[in-house]
Structure 1
Amino acid sequence: MTKNPFFDIDFTKIAADYKIPGLDVEALVSAQRRNIEAITAANQLAFEGLQAVGRRQAEILRQTLEETAAALRDAVAQGTPEEKLAKQTDLAKQAFEKALSNMKELADLLAKSNQDAASVISARVTASIDEVKSLLANIKK
């Protein structure tokens, strides 16, 4: 992988060359570093949430296949055509209800993951606004 020369730049030196009175360049660079850390943390939470959803989907698939195999064994069991039809109708209803329940569970997992990631960004935006206010107050002095 090629090295990105952008990361070799020392932004504190570049900003210090502009010599804006009262501007704390180190605080500005530090704030940006915390912004990047917050984005990284939010991405990590989102990734972990997607992994959890993927694991749960695999569990649901395994469970569904096992239940389907059991249902097929029961469906071919002896009985009158009316009994088989009633059993098949009941199985279809149960499968539909289970599918809805599973979809809701997966949607809830995704919503929680998104909420966790968004709360990290939201907290950082709030802190960043406070930092900018503080920096601006120091410039005015």
Structure 2
Amino acid sequence: MPVPANPFADLTKTLSGFKWPAMDLNAFTEMQRRNFEALTRANQVAVDGFRALIERQAEIAQTSAAEAQSAIRNLAEGGKGPDFEAQLTTARGAMEKATADLRELQDIVARSQTEVFDIINTRMIEAVDEMRQPAAKD
């Protein structure tokens, strides 16, 4: 079977009979500019959130390392006795603080993700409304 010179001839013929809505090139360009701005803002929020997360993780790691080193030293030197109970209380406090720190990191990530989603979601809704406006004029 011979291959047609233009394999899209049937598609072109079919689409030529289809009534295409008039497109305002300036409105389309403006819509794409706003899409790009929204993605840029979302990206900046994500980068800022990631930066905040890394900075806070570094702070937590430094503090936790110093506290762990101190607790290990105290346990090694203390043995049993009244100081041992205080050391156990300190160790428990350190574990509770570590848990609170992890929750804080989780909150940083969640806030960043929510803000990024809100920016993109808002822009998508606006874009749908913008596409609907020219269609309403027809």
* Partner residue, 1:43: 43
Query: Per the alignment, in what secondary structure is the counterpart of residue 81 of structure 2?
Result: helix
Deviations 1:23-52 (A, max 9, x none): 212211221221122112101101110110
Give the distance between the partners of 1:38 and 1:46, measured in 2 at CA: 12
* Partner residue, 1:110: 109
What is the Cα deviation at residue 84 of structure 1? Answer: 4.7
In structure 2, the CA distance between the partners of 1:39 and 1:52, relative to structure 1 (3 Å rule), is same
What is the Cα deviation at residue 76 of structure 1? Answer: 4.0
* Structure 1 spans left out of the alignment, 5+ residues: 1-19
* Partner residue, 2:29: 29
Task: Check if 1:98 corresponds to 2:59.
Answer: no
What is the Cα deviation at residue 100 of structure 1? Answer: 0.9
Give the distance between the partners of 1:72 and 1:36, measured in 2 at CA: 53
Give the distance between the partners of 2:111 and 2:121, measured in 1 at CA: 15
What is the Cα deviation at residue 53 of structure 1? Answer: 0.4
Give the distance between the partners of 1:37 and 1:114, measured in 2 at CA: 18
Compute the TM-score of the two structures, normalised by the length of structure 2.
0.75
* Partner residue, 1:15: none
1:57-76 to 2 correspondence within 5 Å? 57-76=57-76
* Partner residue, 2:120: 121
* Partner residue, 1:9: none
* Bigger relative CO (Cα 8 Å, ≥ 6 apart): 1
> Root-mean-square deviation (CA), in Å?
2.1
- Percent identity for Structure 1 against Structure 2: 34
Amino acid aligned to 1:111: A
Paired residues of 2:49 and 2:109 also in contact (CA < 8 A): yes
**Structure of higher CA gyration radius:** 2
* Structure 2 spans left out of the alignment, 5+ residues: 1-19
